[in-house]
Structure 1
Amino acid sequence: MDRQPRYLWLAEQLRKPILRGEMPPGTRLPSRTRLARTYRVSEQISRTALRLLVTEGLVEARPGSGYYVRSAPEVFRICRTDGSSGSGVGLLSRELVGTEQEPCAPPLSRRLRLREGEPVYRTTSRGLASDRPVTLHRSWEPASLTAGTLRTPFDTSPGSGLLDRLCSVGHPVDRVIEEVGVRALHDSEASLLGAAPGTPVLVVERTHFSGNRAVETSDLIGSAEHCRLLYRLALARP
C-alpha cells in the first residue's frame, strides 16, 4: 500500500481537533513555520496542508494575519416540492428585481424550444434572509403566450401564481422538469447575490410544460455552501 502523503497526514492532525470542537471558530492556527517545526515537515508541506483545509471550508486565510478556524456557514433548506411551482424560495422572503423583454438566445432557445431572436419576458427576483440575498431566481417565458393580455409578467400582482396566470390564457401547466447542477457564479449574477464571480453555486433548472410546449423556464441559483435542496417524495405502497 502506498504511503500517505505528508501534507494529508498533517491536515488530518489539524482537522480532527477542529471537527471535535477543541479548536472553536476564530482560533488562530500555528504559522506555517511553527507547524513545520512541530511536526518535522517542510514549510511547503505545512502550506499545502493549510490550503487543503481552506478548500474544505474548515479554515480561512486572513492576509497578513494567518489562518483561522472558520465558523460553520448558515444553511438554508429550500423546498422543491412547493405547491405553487413558482420561484420556490421556501421560507426566504422574495424581492422582485424586475421584468424585461429581450430576444431569446442559446441555450435558452433550446430550453424553451424557440427560434433564436424570438421575444421572451425575463423576470428576476431574489430570496432574502434578514435582508441578505441568499438565492437568485431568473425566469423566462415566450412573450407570445400572453402578449396583448393582462396576464404578462409586467401585469402580475404580488402573490399571483405562475400556474394560474398561464392557465387563464389557455396554457395549463401539466408537467415540470427539474435538473440540478453546480457551476461557477457568472459576473452578471455576482452583484445581485453579493458574492464573488466564480463562487460555486447550485443551479436548479426548472421548465414548465403545457402539453408538449415549454411555457416557462427558470434558474434558481444559490451558494453551494449555504443552500440545500429539500425534496419530499411520496412512495406508493406495495
Structure 2
Amino acid sequence: MPREAPYLAVADALRARILAGEWEIGERLPSRARLAVGYGVGRNVLQRAMDCLIIDGLVEGRAGSGTYVRMPRERLRLIRSRHRERGEGSPRRPDTRERGSADAWDAHSQVRVPAPEAIAERLAISPGDLCVRTHYEFLAGGHPVQLSESWEPMAITDGTPVVLPETGPLAGKGVPERMRSIGVVISTVVEVPRPARATHVQANLLGISVGDLVLQIERTIFDTDGRPVETADMVIPDVRREVVYEFGVDRP
C-alpha cells in the first residue's frame, strides 16, 4: 500500500487534537514553526497540513497574529452545470442537491473602460479597446458567497438595449439570452479554475480572513463563430463552498 503523504498525516493528527478539544474555539494554536518541529516535518509540510484544516473550516489564519481554532462551518455545494446554462432540467440524486445558492446580488457597471492587456487577450481585442465592466457581489441568505468581475466588448453591445447587463429589458437574464436578443448566439463556455488566497479586498467583501483559500474561476463565453463575447473572474471562498462540475451526456 502507498504510504500516506506526510502533510495528510500531520493534518489528521491536528484535526484529531482540535476535535478532541485540546484547543478551544477562538484559541490560538502553537506557532507553525513549533508544530513543524513537534511533528518532525518541514514548514512546507506543516503549511500544507494547515491548508487542509482551513479548507475543512476548523482553523483560520489571521495576518500577523497566527492560526486560530474557528467554529466549524458547513461547506455547501455549488454546482456548475451545463444544464443550468442552457435552461434545461437536470435530475439529481438527493445527496447532490445544491443548498445555500445565491438568492440575490449587487451589481455595478462602468462603461467605456479600456481593456487591460490580460483582459484584451482573453477577449481577442486590442489593449485599450472599450468595454463594459461589471462587478458583482452574490448573496445567500444575506451573506456574501461569491464575487465576480465581468468584461464585455462595447464593439458588440454598444448602442443596443443590452449594453448594461443589469439594466434594460433583459436585466439579470444572463449573457446567452442578452446576446441572443441582438443576434449573437452563444455556443461555448470555457471555465479555468485555480486555487488562490484571498486579498484584503476580497476578504472584506466575502467576510473571510486575509489569506484564506479561495477558488478563482476564469470564465470566457464564445459565440458560434468562436468570438469571445464576455469574460469574467469569479472568486468563491473555499472554506464555505464546494464547487462541483456537472456534465450531461449527449443522447444519440
TM-score of the aligned structures, taking structure 2 as reference length: 0.68
The alpha-carbon distance between structure 1 residues 48 and 147, as it changes in their structure 2 partners (threshold 3 A), is farther
Which amino acid counterpart does residue 205 of structure 1 have in structure 2?
A: E
The SS at the match of 1:111 is helix
Q: Is the 8 A contact 1:79 1:90 kept in 2?
A: no
Quote the Cα distance in structure 2 between the aligned partners of 1:167 and 1:103.
25
Q: In the superposition, relative to structure 1, how do residues 219 and 168 fare at CA in structure 2: closer, same or farther (>3 Å)?
A: same
Residue 182 of structure 2 is aligned to residue 181 of structure 1: no
In structure 1, distance between residues paired with 2:201 and 2:222? 27
Q: 1:26 aligns with which of 10, 24, 27?
A: 24
Task: Note the residue ranges of structure 2 that are not aligned, 5 or more in a row.
Answer: 1-7, 88-98
Q: Is the 8 A contact 2:193 2:218 kept in 1?
A: yes
1:35-50 matched pairs, under 5 angstroms: 45-46=37-38
Following TM superposition, by how much is the alpha carbon of 1:196 offset from its aligned partner in structure 2, in angstroms?
Answer: 4.5
How far apart in 1 are the matches of 2:85 and 2:217?
Answer: 16
Q: What's the offset of the Cα at 1:204?
A: 1.1
2:138 aligned counterpart, secondary structure = strand
Does 2:16 align with 1:16?
Answer: yes
CA displacement 1:214-235 (0-9 Å, x = unmatched): 0011111111222211222234
Inter-partner Cα distance in structure 2 for 1:27 and 1:180: 32
Give the secondary-structure state (helix, strand or coil) at the position aligned to 1:231.
strand
TM-score normalised to structure 1 length: 0.72
How many residues are matched? 219
**Contact 1:94–1:125 (8 Å) recurs in 2:** no
Which stretch has the larger CA shift, 92-101 or 201-210? 92-101
Q: Deviations over 1:92-122 (max 9, x none)?
A: 1231230012100121111101100001111
The CA deviation string for residues 154-193 of structure 1, in whole angstroms up to 9 with x for no partner, is: 6345442321111111211011111111123345544432
Residues 189, 85 of structure 1: alpha-carbon distance in 2 compared, 3 angstrom cutoff: farther
> How many angstroms apart in 2 are the aligned matches of 1:106 and 1:177?
19
Matches within 5 A, 1:84-233: 84=85, 91-101=101-111, 102-153=113-164, 155-156=167-168, 157-210=170-223, 211-233=225-247
What stretches of structure 1 of length at least 5 have no aligned partner?
Answer: 1-7, 33-41
Identity rate, percent: 29
Bigger Rg, which one:
1
- TM-superposed deviation, 1:75: 1.4
Q: Please say which of residues 130-139 and 52-61 is displaced more in the overlay.
A: 52-61
